[in-house]
């Protein structure tokens, strides 16, 4: 009897996996097809922006021939058009990045394993994320504590993937502390602790933040594709799914996390050293 139940369960699982696999292939196909028209949208909006510049120059050259009212109207229209163009480009770029995320999850480009200085890679992408966050959120600031062990050997990893993983987790950390700082009392200091060390033949990369933390539901669904608590336009909900795939499937490692709601979150990558 028990065996029958197990067989039924396995059948169910198989069905689910088959569905997921065909969904993956389908979405990869669609994502790929959408990329081209999107690139057109972005490129034409950039070209139109250049044309607007030319138009402005022509208007400036003929300033004396235009009545002042018309001139002002023209300036306003050109400014509005320029803003529209930049919105089209910005949102187009965002759509492209979502699509690239989908492609990464559903098909997985094979990157190359290369001997890599992990501390350097981590440092580079932690700061990249920090600067991107500062560019997007006015007044955003955090203290970053870094601790890199000295004896870390060069290790075979896929640098393009591992850097993506660091970036994803650091982006989330920055967002979490920024979000908390919006409502926290004045004495709240956003902080992120980064460390790289070795332990029992593995490299341990830890990213800890004192941001808003995760609810029980978020912890359960963290790795689900498209699960996000961010407002529309800010999160795709693919970051952690991609990150887990990178650490566990591509690097044979382990991704663990811990979080207390309201207090922060810690993410740990454990990657076996391969020389
Ligand atoms: N450090 C963190 N602190 C608090 N919540 C987090 C943290 N990291 C992830 N989360 C929660 O997990 C959710 C899923 O994260 P994930 O990175 O997969 O998607 P996202 O950040 O919402 O979108 P994106 O695809 O752009 O990364 C987030 O929306 C957030 O609620
Ligand atoms: Mg994210």
Question: What is 110-151 written as a DSSP string?
Answer: -PPPEEE-HHHHHHHHHHHHHHHHHHHSTT---EEEEEE-TT
* pLDDT at 157 exceeding the cut of 60: yes
Please state the atom number of ligand 1 nearest to the C-alpha of residue 227: 14
pLDDT in tens, 84-120: 999 999 898 888 888 877 776 665 456 789 999 999 9
Say which DSSP state 226 is in: T
Q: What are 245's two structure tokens? A: 């795939």
Dihedral sign for Cα 119, 120, 121, 125, please: positive
Which of 35-39, 99-103, 156-160, 245-249 is predicted with the least confidence, judged by mean pLDDT?
99-103
How far is the centre of ligand 1, averaged over its atoms, from the C-alpha of 220 (Å)?
12
* Average pLDDT of the chain, as a whole number: 89
* pLDDT at 68 exceeding the cut of 60: yes
Dihedral sign for Cα 96, 101, 104, 109, please: positive
* Ligand closest to the CA atom of residue 98: 1
Cβ of 245 less than 6 Å from ligand 1: no
Cβ of 178 less than 6 Å from ligand 1: no
Q: What are 50's two structure tokens? A: 């250049």
> To test ligand 1's pocket by mutation, which of 240, 241, 256, 266 has the most ligand atoms within 8 angstroms of CB?
240
Cβ of 174 less than 6 Å from ligand 1: no
Cβ of 176 less than 6 Å from ligand 1: yes
**More confident call, 251 vs 64:** 251
Q: How confident is the model at residue 1 (pLDDT cuts 50, 70, 90)?
A: low
How many percent of the chain have pLDDT more than 90? 58
Q: What are 217's two structure tokens? A: 């539901």
Instruction: Say how far apart CA 70 and CA 67 lie, in whole Å.
Output: 5
Cβ neighbours for 162, distance < 8 A, ≥ 6 positions apart = 116, 118, 121, 246, 251, 271
**More confident call, 136 vs 251:** 251
> To test ligand 1's pocket by mutation, which of 129, 237, 259, 264 has the most ligand atoms within 8 angstroms of CB?
237
For residues 213 and 262, the answer to whether their CB atoms sit within 8 Å is yes
C-alpha dist (Å) from residue 229 to 106, 177, 195, 215, 247: 22, 14, 27, 10, 23
How far is the centre of ligand 2, averaged over its atoms, from the C-alpha of 167 (Å)?
9
* Ligand closest to the CA atom of residue 236: 1
For residues 106 and 31, the answer to whether their CB atoms sit within 8 Å is yes
C-alpha dist (Å) from residue 243 to 42, 64, 91, 152, 169: 28, 60, 24, 22, 8
Q: How confident is the model at residue 261 (pLDDT cuts 50, 70, 90)?
A: very high
Q: What are phi and psi of 196, to 5 degrees?
A: -130, 125
pLDDT at 105: 64
| pTM above threshold 0.95 | no
Q: What are 56's two structure tokens? A: 């402005």
275: nearest Cα among 136, 178, 174, 154: 154
Instruction: Say how far apart CA 75 and CA 59 lie, in whole Å.
Output: 9
What is the average pLDDT across 37-54? 90
pLDDT at 100: 78
pLDDT at 79: 93
Q: How confident is the model at residue 254 (pLDDT cuts 50, 70, 90)?
A: very high
């Amino acid at each position: 009897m028990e065996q029958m139940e197990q067989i039924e369960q396995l059948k169910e699982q198989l069905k689910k996996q088959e569905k997921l696999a065909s969904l993956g292939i389908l979405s990869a196909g669609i994502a790929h097809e959408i990329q081209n028209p999107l690139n057109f949208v972005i490129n034409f909006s950039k070209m139109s922006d250049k044309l607007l510049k030319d138009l402005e120059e022509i208007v400036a050259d003929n300033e004396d021939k235009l009545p002042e009212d018309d001139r002002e109207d023209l300036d306003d229209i050109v400014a509005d058009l320029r803003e529209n163009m930049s919105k089209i480009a910005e949102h187009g770029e965002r759509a492209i990045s979502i699509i690239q995320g989908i492609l990464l999850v559903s098909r997985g480009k094979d990157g190359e394993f290369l001997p890599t200085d992990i501390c350097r890679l981590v440092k580079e992408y932690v700061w990249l994320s920090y600067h991107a966050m500062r560019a997007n959120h006015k007044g955003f600031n955090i203290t970053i504590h870094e601790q890199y062990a000295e004896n870390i050997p060069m290790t075979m990893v896929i640098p393009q993937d591992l850097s993506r993983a660091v970036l994803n987790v650091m982006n989330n950390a920055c967002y979490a502390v920024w979000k908390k700082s919006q409502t926290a009392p004045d004495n709240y200091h956003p902080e992120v602790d980064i460390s790289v060390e070795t332990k029992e033949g593995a490299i341990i990369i830890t990213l800890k933040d004192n941001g808003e933390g995760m609810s029980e539901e978020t912890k359960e669904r963290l790795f689900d594709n498209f699960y996000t608590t961010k407002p529309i336009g800010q999160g795709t909900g693919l970051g952690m799914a991609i990150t887990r795939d990178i650490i566990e499937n591509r690097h044979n490692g382990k991704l663990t996390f811990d979080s207390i709601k309201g207090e922060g979150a810690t993410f740990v990558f454990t990657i076996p050293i391969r020389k």
